Amino acid sequence: MKYAIVGTGARHSMFRDAITQIHAATAELVALSDINDHRLALSAQEVPDQTGNGIATYRAEQFEQMIAEQKPATVIVTVPDYLHHEYIVAAMRAGCNVVTEKPMTTDLSRLKAILDAQRETGKSVSVTFNYRYTPARTQIKKILQSGAIGDVTAIDFSWHLDRVHGADYFRRWHRYKENSGGLLVHKSTHHFDLVNWWLGSVPESISARGQLAFYKPRMADQLGLSAHGPRCHDCPVAPECDFRMDLETDDKLRKLYLEAEDHDGYLRDKCVFADDITIEDTMQVSVRYRSGAMLNYTLCAYSPWEGLEIRFHGTKGELTHKHVEVHGVFGGKRERPVDDAMTTTVHIAGQQPEPMDVWEGTGDHGGADPIMLGYLLDPNAMEPDLYGRSSTHVDGAWSILTGIAANQSIASGETVHIAQMLEQNNIVLREAEPP
């Protein structure tokens, strides 16, 4: 199977290396494409066993030429979120299937363009929701499928981003809502997809509140950083700032971003306390699902620790899951836990709580990435998937609709009804099929 990758930033290397190394027997990378010649060349150099002139590389504006000359069966899209739809639609109309990073896209007009093109071409779109493949999250799906806690009636779900990971969204292109849809689309699409998948249902109505509470100029003043510059590089107060990103001393970041700035002007280390940030860092969302279940969801992007807490309320009992990824952030440094980092407990009414032996895996994202890539790149070598973890354009759409509706609710102060929102935008979307 021939693949081409468009977008050679940090995330694409997972796909590139899986195709050219782990799954080279069944997959072939035929081309790379990007707007930045420097990053494009860096990626091409990492492709092993090259012959002749090496891997074919194309500027982004040569995308159609790349498809015509290299004839990939599948295009992998790893460009910034607001550009996903351009390459997804162009690839399908050129006769290719698509694998795309989440979120599938960022707003309703772009979503409509993707759904219309898929309906017209019949090509497939796979969205890489790797969280579904994390063994511990798959275990939750199995427990819920078993009916152990009965019908799920309500969920409390909190996601904590620490002051290293969370801050990073406020340095990059993500910090502008027109680029990412905000964290409720860019980040929370993972979490909303998990809930859709765990419940085997889809959202009906959403109300939300959100604010930018931490990453703003007033906080810089409180931290004694009033004299900060527009970026970390050459910032006069960088030595005193716990939020500093030092591109120059990190070999990978220096090559990928600092040395690439002259090619497209992209700055990877903008100040997290600038006055032009348009996304929220504190959000709470209430969702009603077609199944009747309700969700209370919180995302905080400046927590002293990183991880998640989730509680499923059921007619027979409760299922709780907690994952502590980082204990704390001190002076910009992270302390990762060693023992009991992940716990899952089933508590049936009238019985003692039962701690579960949490499923584990190896590899990135808790063992999720190797499993997901196996199903994407060499499905015949994988065991039958009992949990329906693969994600189509339909799953991708439902995952972002919660975040898009939540953004609308934050702006209007009103509850947003999904069916009405879709109808008003002439979007036809069938319900996701439960596994």
Q: What confidence tens digit (pLDDT) does each residue in 116-142 have? A: 999 999 999 999 999 999 999 999 999
SS3 content of the chain, % helix, strand, coil (to 5): 40, 25, 40
Q: What is the pLDDT at residue 332?
A: 58
DSSP designation for 11: G
- The helix/strand/coil state of 223 is coil
Mean pLDDT of the chain: 95
Strands (E), 63-110: 74-77, 97-100
Specify burial of residue 371 (Cβ count, 10 A radius: 0-12, 13-18, 19+): buried
Q: Where are the alpha helices (DSSP H) in 257-325?
A: 261-264
pLDDT band at 334 (very low <50, low <70, confident <90, very high): confident
% of the chain beyond a pLDDT of 70 = 96
Of the candidates 81, 142, 96, 101, the one whose C-alpha atom is nearest the C-alpha of residue 4 is: 96
Phi, psi (rounded to 5 degrees) for 430: -80, 160
Q: Measured between alpha carbons, how far is 1 from 30 in angstroms, rounded to an integer?
A: 10
The pLDDT tens digits for 23-72 are 999 999 999 999 999 999 999 999 997 766 689 999 999 999 999 999 99
pLDDT band at 160 (very low <50, low <70, confident <90, very high): very high
pTM of the entire structure?
0.95
Q: Where are the alpha helices (DSSP H) in 146-203?
A: 165-168, 177-180, 183-186, 188-199
pLDDT band at 431 (very low <50, low <70, confident <90, very high): low
Contact between 168 and 329 under an 8 Å Cβ cutoff? The reply is no
Identify any residues that bridge with 157 across adjacent strands, giving them in sequence order.
Answer: 297, 310
The pLDDT tens digits for 404-415 are 999 999 999 999
Q: Measured between alpha carbons, how far is 21 from 25 in angstroms, rounded to an integer?
A: 9
| All domains in the chain, ordered by first residue | 2-130 (3.40.50.720), 132-213+278-361+393-415 (3.30.360.10), 217-264 (no CATH)
Q: Measured between alpha carbons, how far is 204 from 221 in angstroms, rounded to an integer?
A: 42
The pLDDT tens digits for 178-205 are 999 999 999 999 999 999 999 999 999 9
Rounded to a whole number of angstroms, the distance between the first and last alpha carbons of the chain is: 26
The pLDDT tens digits for 88-118 are 999 999 999 999 999 999 999 999 999 999 9
Phi, psi (rounded to 5 degrees) for 337: -70, 160
Q: What residue type is assigned to position 360 of the chain?
A: E
Q: What is the pLDDT at residue 76?
A: 98
